Amino acid sequence: MRVAYVDSSFLVAIAFTETGSAALAQTLNEQDILISSNLLEAELRAALRRDNVTADPSELLSSIVWVHPDRALTPEIKTVLGAGYVRGADLWHLASALFVAPKREIAFLTLDVRQREISEELGFATGGTEVES
Segment 38-74, tens digit of pLDDT: 999 999 999 999 999 988 999 999 999 999 999 999 9
Give the span between the Cα atoms of 129 and 104, in whole angstroms: 10
User: How much is the pLDDT for 55?
Assistant: 84
Q: If DSSP codes are grouped into helix, strand and coil, which group holds residue 63?
A: coil
Average pLDDT over residues 108-118: 96
Domain 3-122, what fold?
A: Rossmann fold (3.40.50)
pTM across the whole model: 0.92
| Residue 37: pLDDT over 80 | yes
User: How much is the pLDDT for 74?
Assistant: 98
How far is the first Cα of the chain from the last one, in angstroms, to the nearest whole number?
Answer: 6
For a pLDDT cut of 90, what percent of the chain falls above it? Answer: 89
